[in-house]
């Protein structure tokens, strides 16, 4: 049954906070949409919007991304889909694929990485897993929502190459490879235009270029003007109801200000999503099995940053000091809309006590609020001194949606704690719990072992014990660079912006791209992580195929323990015509390799991922040439390299009167035409002024400007003929 204009308007805003609006006359029910992304947060009662009924709190994206394992993300998506079915949820609001532009990002814990390929590959599998259960994803926040400061008003000012190659790339990958049911538009503006009113973004790029078939939903409260939003391509405004906006839509259709087809299509997309959701079977889930999966993913997410003298794994120390309130009161997720009420919560102190052979003594060292307390510090030092090994749990204190951090430093009292414990006991291990990177210099120099434990979800404690005692051999890798200090970061001078604008001044050089381009020291590089075993790489081979480049490399587990290596492929095109970062991640694989065994690892670089965005042509171009393929264990640990010839895309830029003399001569047809024109002007002898040096000097002159000079070999009347001949 066709919906009338008023019904179309009503169904394109929410029925309440977490439901679409039903249209009873047309038999359209309301469906539930809820957060996301690392658990299902169904609002428990009427009071608190963010208090959910218990659900598995899987590791937030900061941790799941550190697994570098798409298969784990797919399994997490499937499990989330099952929990959605059990709670009658139609769409889960995730994944968040904004890039971590700055370590101060308040929501970095909800995002995957500073790299678009790593983000895109992992999020694609998460979406595939979720949607395989008949539950929709909501790819968010589209786009360039990389900060919380002024998030509802700020304009992210980004040049087009950077937008395309960095900030939109993960969205593009997920849309084209997994067709999420919905895409959630961001709060912020992009180059001055609200995402919710951005026709270029929501219609030309998302639907026109990428072929998105689903529904565009607003972030909660992101719509400023319903009519402008629908005209731009937004379908569903959340939350609702929004009687004024509905009336404005009806009035705009009646007055002819809004094309009625646009509103009709948006309403149709909402209806299609509801119909699709109606097909998912009800179901239950096994909470214990999901907890076990949360533990598996968390264990794989932990990154071993330092392990001098093989202090880890712990073995069975006679006395073990467990220090730090976070061992007893875990920090396992961030604040805001993604906050989950877990089905259960493992703490490290209990799990370590169960795993340790000998005596375990605990000292809090600091309060949860991070307050300094000399008594607690002194007690911790005494406990550490009397133990064979001390494990110190520290981490960030405030991390939440809606606010960026002001520093990457640990609370001062925690740094004091680390330094005093390390002085009391040289066998000290530090375990970090944080949603975005924290500075590790200079205190990490004083401890032999450092474990980056992120925010690991409800199984944080057991997963940390698994790694500390070697039941899991660590294989997590940094999905973001840990800088030596905040001021080194590529984003530093252009964050968080002012007066409503933040300029993405570092351009393409986000994260490791910027550190590498400026040859800067980092504390721990992108892609880095140690293992309890070691890996050796053989020679790499690379073959260009029609669809990309296939890279093969033998990797041997040269140690005594079974383990996993995350093999990474970085690409560069030396001498490229466009600016490129020295090293860009293009493929990776997490490979289990038994002790003493060799795996022949095959990695595929998609041809599309080699492309740069050509602003002159307005399209992606694979530049032909000899590509340098570097295979490594991190972005700064290249183990094998090889070059491969990749044929280029047709990329001739038409010559115009604004093209320079140099550009004319660089183009074979242009050189022929312009050369002939110069020769003709010279008559019998060479033009006295047209020596090679003069030509070099003239190279930057646009042709029309050359023609305007007195005594020029060209006249204004020649120009159009030359252009026609050159572009023939």
Q: List the catalytic residues.
A: 219
Among 328, 250, 332, smallest CA distance to 9 is for 250
- Strand 182-185: give its sheet, edge to edge: 32-35, 89-93, 136-142, 182-185, 215-218
DSSP state string for 646-708: EPPPP-PPPP-TTSBHHHHHHSHHHHHHHHHHHHHHHTTSPPTT--HHHHHHHTTSBHHHHHH
Q: State which residue, 140 or 300, has the beta carbon closest to ligand BGC.
A: 140
33 or 377: CB nearest ligand BGC: 33
Smallest CA-to-CA distance from 550 within 602, 609, 589 is with 602
Return d(Cα 335, Cα 404) in angstroms, integer: 12
- Shortest distance in whole angstroms from residue 35 CB to ligand BGC: 5
Between 94 and 474, CB nearer to ligand BGC: 94
H or E element at residue 294: helix 287-301
Q: 């009806």: which residue's tokens?
A: 250
Cα–Cα dist 622/654, whole Å: 18
d(CA 69, CA 89): 26
Based on CB atoms, which residue is closest to ligand BGC, 94 or 129?
A: 94
Least Cβ distance, residue 519 to ligand BGC (angstroms)? 37
* Closer CB to ligand BGC, 8 or 337, in the complex: 337
SS3 labels along 158-169? CCHHHHHHHHCH
Q: Is 88 left (phi over 0), alpha (psi -120 to 50) or beta?
A: left
Least separation, in Å, of the C-beta of 81 and ligand BGC? 17
Q: Nearest approach, Cβ of 145 to ligand BGC (angstroms)? A: 8
Neighbour-count burial of 682, counting CB atoms closer than 10 A to its CB (0-12 exposed, 13-18 middle, 19+ buried): middle
Question: Is the Cβ of residue 151 or residue 420 nearer to ligand BGC in the bound state?
Answer: 151
Tokens coding 354: 């169960």
Residue placing its CB nearer to ligand BGC in the complex, 36 or 103: 36
Tokens of 402: 């809606």
Pairing mode of beta strands 482-483, 522-524: antiparallel
CB of 637 to ligand BGC, least distance (A): 35
Nearer to ligand BGC, 5 or 138 (CB): 138
The rounded distance, in Å, linking the Cα atoms of 601 and 555 is 7
Bridging pattern class, strands 155-157 and 189-190: parallel
The pair of structure tokens assigned to 322 is: 């467990």
> How many other C-beta atoms are found inside a 10 Å radius of the C-beta of residue 220?
18
570: CB partners within 8 A, 6+ apart: 583, 584, 585, 586, 629, 630, 631, 632, 635, 638
Coil, helix or strand at residue 536? strand
- DSSP 8-class letter at 479: S
Closer residue to ligand BGC in complex, CB, 31/661 = 31
* Tokens linked to 144: 């360039």
Chain centre distance of CA 141: 11
What is the rounded CA–CA span in Å between residue 313 and residue 471?
Answer: 9
Query: What count of Cα atoms within 13 Å lies in the side-chain half-sphere of residue 82?
Result: 12
Tell me which residue has its CB nearest to ligand BGC.
Answer: 337
The nearer residue to ligand BGC, 145 or 635, going by C-beta atoms, is: 145
Output the smallest distance, CB 210 to ligand BGC, in A: 21
CA 373, chain centre distance (Å): 38
Residue 50: both structure tokens together: 């963010």
Whether 548 contacts 605, CB under 8 Å: yes
Helices and strands (DSSP H and E) totals, the chain: 23, 27
Helical spans, DSSP H, in 524-667: 607-610, 661-666
Q: What is the DSSP letter of 206?
A: I
CB atoms within 10 A of CB 257: 12
Residue written as token pair 């999420």? 180
711, 687 in Cβ contact below 8 A? Answer: no
Q: Where are the beta strands (DSSP E) in 282-358?
A: 303-307, 319-323
Of 115 and 219, nearer to ligand BGC (C-beta) is 219
d(CA 161, CA 149): 24
d(CA 568, CA 635) in angstroms, rounded, equals 8
Phi, psi of 359 (to 5 degrees): -80, 140
Using the minimum distance from each CB to ligand BGC, give the nearer residue, 53 or 386. 53
Which of 92, 377 has the CB closer to ligand BGC? 92
Shortest approach of ligand BGC to residue 480 CB, angstroms? 20
**Residues making contact with ligand BGC (CB under 6 A):** 35-36, 93, 140, 219-220, 337
Q: How far is the CB of 408 from ligand BGC (least distance, A)?
A: 23
């Amino acid at each position: 049954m066709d919906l009338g204009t008023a019904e179309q308007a009503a169904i394109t805003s929410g029925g309440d906070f977490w439901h679409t609006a039903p249209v009873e006359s047309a038999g359209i029910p309301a469906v539930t949409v809820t957060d996301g992304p690392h658990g299902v947060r169904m609002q428990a009662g009427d009071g608190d919007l963010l208090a959910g009924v218990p659900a598995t709190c899987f590791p937030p994206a900061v941790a799941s991304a550190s697994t570098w394992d798409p298969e784990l993300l797919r399994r997490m998506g499937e499990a989330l889909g099952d929990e959605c079915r059990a709670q009658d949820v139609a769409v889960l609001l995730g994944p968040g694929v904004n890039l971590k532009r700055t370590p101060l990002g308040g929501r970095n814990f909800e995002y995957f990485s500073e790299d678009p390929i790593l983000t895109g590959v992992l999020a694609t599998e998460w979406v595939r897993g979720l949607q395989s259960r008949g539950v929709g994803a909501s790819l968010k926040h589209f786009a360039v929502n990389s900060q919380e400061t002024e998030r509802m008003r700020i304009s992210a000012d980004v040049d087009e190459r950077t937008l395309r190659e960095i900030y939109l790339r993960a969205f593009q990958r997920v849309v084209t490879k997994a067709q999420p049911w919905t895409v959630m538009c961001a709060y912020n503006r992009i180059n001055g235009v609200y995402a919710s009113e951005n026709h270029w973004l929501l219609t030309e790029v998302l639907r026109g270029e990428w072929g998105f078939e689903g529904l565009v939903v607003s972030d909660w409260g992101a719509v400023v003007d319903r009519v402008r939003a629908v005209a731009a391509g937004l379908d569903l405004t959340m939350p609702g109801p929004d009687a004024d906006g509905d009336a404005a839509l009806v009035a705009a259709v009646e007055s002819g200000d809004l094309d009625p087809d646009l509103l009709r299509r948006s309403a149709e997309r909402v209806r299609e999503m509801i119909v699709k959701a109606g097909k998912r079977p009800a179901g239950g889930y096994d909470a214990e099995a999901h907890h076990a999966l949360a533990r598996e993913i968390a264990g794989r997410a932990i990154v071993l940053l330092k392990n001098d003298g093989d202090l880890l794994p712990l073995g069975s120390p006679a006395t073990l000091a467990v220090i730090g309130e976070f061992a007893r009161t875990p920090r396992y997720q961030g604040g805001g809309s993604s906050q989950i009420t877990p089905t259960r919560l493992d703490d490290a102190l209990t799990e370590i006590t169960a795993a340790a052979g000998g005596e375990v003594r605990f000292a809090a060292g600091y309060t949860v609020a991070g307050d300094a307390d000399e008594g607690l510090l002194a007690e911790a030092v005494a406990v550490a001194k009397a133990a064979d090994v001390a494990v110190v749990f520290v981490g960030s204190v405030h991390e939440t949606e809606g606010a960026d951090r002001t520093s990457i430093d640990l609370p001062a009292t925690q740094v004091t704690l680390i330094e005093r414990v390390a002085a009391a006991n040289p066998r000290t291990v530090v375990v970090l719990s944080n949603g975005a990177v924290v500075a590790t210099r200079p205190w990490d120099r004083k401890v032999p072992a450092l474990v980056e434990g992120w925010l690991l979800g409800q199984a944080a404690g057991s997963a940390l014990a698994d790694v500390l005692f070697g039941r899991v051999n660590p294989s997590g890798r940094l999905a973001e660079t840990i800088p030596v200090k905040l001021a080194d970061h590529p984003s530093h001078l252009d964050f968080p912006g002012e007066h409503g604008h933040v300029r993405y001044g570092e351009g393409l050089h986000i994260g490791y791209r910027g550190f590498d381009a400026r040859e800067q020291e980092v504390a721990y590089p992108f892609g880095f992580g140690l293992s309890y075993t070691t890996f050796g790489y053989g020679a790499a081979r690379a073959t260009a195929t029609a669809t990309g480049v296939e890279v093969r490399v033998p990797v041997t587990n040269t140690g005594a323990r079974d383990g996993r290596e995350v093999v990474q492929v970085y690409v560069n095109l030396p001498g490229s015509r466009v600016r490129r970062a020295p090293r860009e991640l293009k493929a990776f694989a997490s490979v289990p390799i038994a002790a003493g065994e060799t795996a022949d690892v095959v990695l595929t670089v998609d041809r599309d991922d080699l492309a740069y965005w050509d602003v002159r042509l307005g399209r992606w171009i694979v530049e032909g040439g000899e590509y340098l393929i570097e295979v490594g264990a991190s972005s700064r640990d290249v183990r094998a390299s090889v070059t491969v010839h990749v044929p280029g895309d047709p990329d001739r830029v038409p010559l115009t009167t604004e093209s320079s003399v140099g550009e004319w001569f660089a183009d074979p047809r242009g050189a022929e035409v312009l050369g002939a024109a110069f020769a003709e002007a010279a008559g019998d002898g060479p033009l006295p002024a047209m020596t090679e040096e003069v030509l070099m000097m003239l190279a930057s002159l646009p042709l029309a400007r050359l023609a305007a000079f007195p005594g020029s070999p060209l006249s204004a009347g020649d120009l159009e003929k030359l252009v026609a001949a050159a572009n023939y």
